Amino acid sequence: MSIQESQLISLRAFGYTEVEARFLYLVATHSGYFTVRQFLEFARAKSGKRNARLVEKLLALGHVSAQRYQRRSLVYHLHSRPIYEAIDKGELRNRRGHELGHIKARLLGLDYILANPEDDYFETTEAKREYFIRSFKLSSNLFLPTKENGGGITFADRFPLCVSYSRPEFMPVVTFTYIDSEHKNLEAFIAHLRTYRPLFRLLPGFQFLYISTANGQQKEAAELFPLFAEEKGLADLTRYFDLQTKWDNRQYRLLSEPDVLFMSEGRKRFTGDSIGTLYYLWKRSQLPTDLRIEAASGPLPTQKILFRAVTVPGHEGIFGNSTRRWSDGWQIRGTSRASSPRRSPAAPTQSLQGTADT
């Protein structure tokens, strides 16, 4: 992850130190929101004068506002236009106010980026599109919005996307991420995989990271990924549903000993609410078309795909069970506005059912 020196100079012109400037650049580019803990981890410092000085400068210059959700800490929003213009990113929407779910996702995404600074992150949606078009000779039409269900790969989710260098001896690999900040269900995760699947199919290989806190649904996400992203394991899933249906109907004479063993293993393998919903749809002959064996095209023969569940610290201590938006509750704003310095240079089964009628 590289930052142009001219952009750091512009931030230092406000009075920020080198470390503060680098951190604020990452916040402005990838999140818009941050906590003191994140700054301390980035600066490798302990709580005290260092973070107090940064917050004092940010508030005095009017570069941030702060929101308290619980008693333990504050969430800071880097909203000042001069900051974004100083790094040539005045068009970014990170400086605008957002709903709570968006804020939580941005904080988790920043946690991941700060923990993996060696990767090359794409900073804008346009940079992401250009990378795939240039590197893989893909059509630009793939990245245009479509009328069907508002689909299209537009990277509007703004989840981190990067080229990773896992080990020196390995080739760099493009890495997609999905950030689960709510931990309620995996409906949005399934919809995300369906949206990106046309792009996945055209790549020789990639890495996909499901990012959440320890409260996430890592196991279920790992089960669903090959089904919806790679169209793998469909035969096993449909066989398990068929056998489970016979068992539920007490048609035991139709089950062989290998069938019973397979069903027993399937109960361990196929778990979670999403699988339960798929089974509900299966029994009503409403299984989505992209989960039917006859519709599966399968991954490319040479395709190499890696799925990983990544756990980040999270911010439950800050938010608790709060559902407030940024403008609700107790908020701190800067006391002055600083000008730019002179510069030298859906429904429960909606996502699962999806394409059932197409």
Asked if 162 and 30 count as a contact pair (C-beta separation under 8 A), the reply is no
Residues of the chain above pLDDT 90, percent: 50
Tokens of 239: 């066989």
Closest CA to 317 of 194, 215, 240, 223: 215
pLDDT at 171: 76
CA distances from 340 to 13, 57, 319 (A): 9, 15, 33
Largest CA distance in the chain: 83
Q: Residue 23 has which token pair?
A: 């951190």
- Residue labelled with tokens 């709570």: 100
* 21-24: long-range pairs with CB below 8 Å, 24+: 24/78, 24/83
Residue 187 CB contacts under 8 Å (≥ 6 apart), including other chains: 274, 346, 348, 350, 351, 352
CA distances from 234 to 193, 221, 285 (A): 16, 16, 15
Q: What are phi and psi of 213, to 5 degrees?
A: -85, -175
Is the pLDDT assigned to residue 294 strictly greater than 60? no
| pLDDT, tens only, 207-249 | 999 999 888 889 889 989 988 888 787 888 888 888 999 999 8
Residue reference for tokens 């790094």: 87
pLDDT bucket at 287, cuts 50 / 70 / 90: confident
Please tell me the pTM assigned to this model: 0.81
How far is the C-alpha of 152 from the C-alpha of 134, rounded, in Å? Answer: 19
The radius of gyration computed from the CA coordinates of the chain, to the nearest angstrom, equals 23
pLDDT of residue 103: 92
Q: Tokens 């393998």 sit at which residue? A: 269
pLDDT in tens, 55-110: 999 999 999 999 988 766 799 999 999 999 999 998 888 988 888 889 999 999 99
Give CA–CA dist 155/153, Å, rounded.
6
Whole-number average pLDDT of the chain: 84
Distance linking the first and last C-alpha atoms of the chain? 43
HSE value, Cβ hemisphere, 13 Å, CA-based, for 270: 24
The band of 334, judged by pLDDT with boundaries at 50, 70 and 90, is low
- Domains of the chain listed by start with CATH number: 1-98+326-345 (1.10.10), 233-297 (no CATH)
Half-sphere exposure of 95 (CA within 13 A, CB side): 17
Could you tell me which residues come within 8 angstroms of residue 193 by beta carbon, excluding any fewer than 6 positions away? 224, 225, 228, 229
Spatial contact of 56 and 334, defined as CB atoms under 8 Å apart? no
Token reading at 232: 């793998």
Q: Give 107's contacts (C-beta < 8 A, 6+ positions apart).
A: 31, 33, 34, 35, 38, 75, 181, 315
Total residue length of the chain: 358
> Among 58, 51, 52, which residue's Cα sits nearest to residue 338?
58
pLDDT at 313 over 80: yes
Which of these, 135, 120, 131, lies nearest to 155 by C-alpha position? 131
Give the least confident one: 48-57, 119-128, 328-337.
Answer: 328-337
Report CA torsion sign: 55, 61, 67, 68.
Answer: positive
Residue 217 one-letter amino acid? Q
Residue percentage of the chain with pLDDT more than 70? 82
Which two structure tokens, joined as six digits, stand for 187? 């409906």
Cα distance between residue 230 and residue 232, in whole Å: 5
- Cα 24 from Cα 324, distance rounded (Å): 25
